[in-house]
Amino acid sequence: MTPEDNDVLHPSPAPAGEGTQGSHANVRGGGERGPRRARMRTCGVGANGGHAGLARERAGRGQTGGHAELTRKRAGHMRRERYLLRMVRERARGTALSTTEVLTTARAAERLGVKPQTLYAYASRGWLTRVPPGRGRASGYLRADVERLKARSDARAGHAAVAAGALQWGEPVLDTSVSSIGPEGPAYRGRSAVDLALSGVTFERVAELLWTGALPPSGLAWAPAARPSHASPAPRATPLARRILIVAALAAGPADRTLRARPLIARIAAPDGRAPAPIALSLLATLGAARRGTEVAAAIDRALVLLADHELNASTFAARVAASAGAGLCSSVLAALATVSGARHGGVCDRVEAFFREVGAPARARRIVSGHAGRGDVVPGFGHPLYPDGDPRAAPLLDAAQSIAPRDETRAAGAIVRAVEDTLGLRPTVDFALVALMRAIGARTGSAAALFAVGRCAGWVAHIEEQRAAGYLLRPRARYSASVG
């Protein structure tokens, strides 16, 4: 996929409405005869065959089961009629049904784990809608019907418990080609995030890798989007809250449908910036860091790369849900930003900062950690469920912090790490390491969470585009239980 093929990187038009003029024009021009014949062809029956089939159905069914079967068939016929009416309307507007909404016969059979002949049987029963060929598209089946049938099949097979567990660090719930997670850390399109960060690849280049699948030879400075005139200045807001307010203002206007990813991320990195600049430098200028320079900027870039994506985390899932519902780019990113602000996600950085303040002097680290352990309290920033042997993203940032600041200013971080490992057997996560780096450069409170969000923007955009291309609504089901809550 090239950047030109990507409607998140480039403006995407708002979804066309179901205007009545085109629909009536089509009905007047073609009459009801064409759609009626199309329905008959799609259902696979002729005029005589249809009556004969109905007679056989009436003769062969029982009182209760036959009525239920007839109800299912009627539902299927109604679904096909709605689809054909939609096709009539869309063709009147000169548009075609999206290829992402139709699965080929081979793909639908693979998805359901059946033979093509079985698909034909499903269609005859009204369970699937068969779609005739269109412009640049082979015949197939509506994706929504296939996914609905797959979900029902999984539920009957006893997969409900697996699905419920998948929402809590369990089994994967969807396919993605953006990133994967292994013991060595995340991999972006098959390339190790840790290796990319340690080799000095810039954040902009890694973002392009996530979006297009190719690592460009060099990264250009991204010009920030115009600052919305109605955006609240909020001088006392936290660094992350300021960025949420900026994106909320953009989402409230036409930019939600027209703004591209690069200027959006550049604006999030520097809410008040004007000139194009590398994201690391733009972000550094807003953090109030006491230390600047090439080494510090390289450390910020390293952190952004390590945080660029992490598979289907909570904020990424929120972005994908919003995108699946048809939300614009800014609105989808806003959903992710709201989620990342939570205390169990990007907000962990704020809790780590509070823990550093509680420890104070390095000599107090072991006593404070022992106190937390004795009370059963969590020490924030330690023990990642996906990395039982330690978060591979933490070490590169802790090394950068020690390289930038004098040893006495990083002693507290080292003392905490040793105390937690000795007392609880847990190793630091990227959240702890990010806070340690921010303390090393003298950044203001709350900077770690803001940097976390800016870096993750690259992955959010990649997942938003992937979800849009998938073409289905993310809509899990709930199992009712009167005892919950």
Active site residues: 384, 431
Could you count the other beta carbons within 10 Å of the beta carbon of residue 31? 10
Q: In what order do the strands lie in the sheet with 185-188?
A: 179-182, 185-188, 191-192
Question: d(Cα 151, Cα 333) in Å, to the nearest integer?
Answer: 28
223: tokens are 């010009």
* Cβ neighbours of residue 12 closer than 8 Å, sequence gap 6 or more: 257, 258, 328, 329
**Among 456, 414, 222, residue whose Cα is nearest residue 318:** 456
Please check whether residue 460 is in contact with residue 319, taking contact to mean a CB–CB distance below 8 angstroms: yes
Please check whether residue 336 is in contact with residue 316, taking contact to mean a CB–CB distance below 8 angstroms: yes
**Among 272, 305, 277, residue whose Cα is nearest residue 287:** 272
Question: d(Cα 317, Cα 348) in Å, to the nearest integer?
Answer: 18
Question: d(Cα 84, Cα 410) in Å, to the nearest integer?
Answer: 67
Q: Which whole-number Å values give the CA distances from 169 to 314, 357, 392, 425, in the listed order?
A: 10, 31, 18, 21
Residue position matching structure tokens 């990083």: 410
Alpha-carbon dihedral sign for residues 69, 71, 74, 78: negative
Buried b (16+ CB within 10 A) or exposed e, 68-96: ebeeebeebeebbbebbbebbbbbbbeee
Number of H helices, E strands in the chain: 23, 6
455: tokens are 């870096």
Residue position matching structure tokens 């702890």: 432
Please check whether residue 247 is in contact with residue 268, taking contact to mean a CB–CB distance below 8 angstroms: yes
**Among 332, 352, 242, 254, residue whose Cα is nearest residue 287:** 242
